[in-house]
Structure 1
Amino acid sequence: MQQNTIDVVSGIFRGKRSYAYRKAVSLFKRFFDELDDMNKKYMLHALEIAIEKWDPSPLYHFLSFKERESVLQGIEYKLVDVPFKTYPGSSLIVLPRPSKNVDVFKDFLGRQDYEVNTRKVHPPSIQDVSDLLYYSLSSPGAFTSGVLRRPFTSFLGQPVIETYMYTALDGELYGKLSHYLPHAHSLEVIKEDDLLKEFYLATLDGFFEESYVIFIFTVRYNEIFTNHYHRAYRIALLEAGSALSTFLRVAAALGLKARVSLDFIDRHICRHLELDCYSEFPYALVSIFRA
């Protein structure tokens, strides 16, 4: 393994000399030596991304799930120590990158008693939403994805790392998706300016017909990882299930209920929306309310 590659790995882990660090370097060395020239180039690029974006997720494509769990999970939260803000418009849940098995995703949603079917619901209060955002996004280990661990200064419709995340509060995308999402007609587009205030006002004024509803989905990952995409499916699925399960547990602990609807948008709609995606990708509608 070339010395500059070791330096890159060292940069990712910020010079830590822990057991996890030493094991990670050893693992990367073994993988790097086994790669052909093209994949070595890809891996080096992934390492550069990890440093530049303060996020280890590009490296996941070079590890099996078990290897990724044993090496990266214990240290990934140390990679990003930049404070982040919790806005309602930011992606509260990291849904999986394109996956063809929604049933597997549902297996990770957690206990089913978080889902209710009654239509007699009430929008959450300002404090409800504020608490839910704060505890969901700041709890240690709440999210296994590094995507959320960065400041949300400009997020609506903007790429975050190499994953695109949108919410129903993104007016432009909302307009495009309203023809395809079954419940989108019940949402009102919130202005990007002064987003926090506008969101609260919309909630209090009853713009949402029955509850606070958002949809979040991811669109694509960098093209260089196409050859490793089958591995990314599974990893992203587990991350998304863990994130969503945590979100629902926090909601329950705060006395809130949640309804989750999952579906897919296929490649034809992707192209129509001028979005880049390799196959079907999932989205979720999440209703947060007081029963």
Structure 2
Amino acid sequence: MALPSSREKTIGENFQAQTKYRRGALPPKTGKAVSPFKVYANPLEVAALPVPELSGGKGLWGTLATTRESIPEGGRLRQGDVSQLLWASSGFTYGGQRTHATAVPLAGLETYLVVRQIEDVFPGVYHYNPREHALEHLVQTEPSLELADALLDTDISACAAAVAYTGLPGRIDDGAKSRAYRYLYLEAGAAAQCAMLAAVELGLAATVRAEFYDDELARLLQIDGVSEVPLCVLTLGT
């Protein structure tokens, strides 16, 4: 149904309309070479994570049916649990595919870990390297104040860590009127859902947060907020 001419379209409606594919008018493929992974030349440290478990657990249906709100929050996270959750949301399967659903073959998502209280891990900001299943230490600082501010001044006293998903539209851009942002939103939601399932299986409390001050979160993660943009955050407790 056509929108009434007397009303201006919202930003969302304009975005949806301008990224439509129409028969006979598909955007050209750019053919440009892009790296499928973000590479840091000089992180403060690279820490290999414990090998994730790839079998067992209580099953998908039981995990989906668990009431997440009943799991208490607060306390220090175990490094093994964080390893498992990062792999489940952003790692690779036996067949070399990403564990989260992707709309195109080349994933445009990057994953960061903001640490407050994880055993044997310094507080700070880390980039998750899915190829090596390792954490690249970017910022060695106590991030509580910056994280709380970025999350709309939220009380994060029960949050031991946060997983932040960002997107690089240029990595999957397919030309004029690109659908890259659509794909990034789908990927972030899929990765967050995988992380939520893993959190329930591990007995952790996880909350998806899609409301944040974009520029402040970008500064915390050490990204520019333009070529790489924050998409959503998952706060974690025990």
Higher share of residues assigned strand: 2
> Which structure has more helix as a fraction of its residues?
1
TM-score if structure 2 supplies the norm length? 0.46
- TM-score relative to the length of structure 1: 0.39
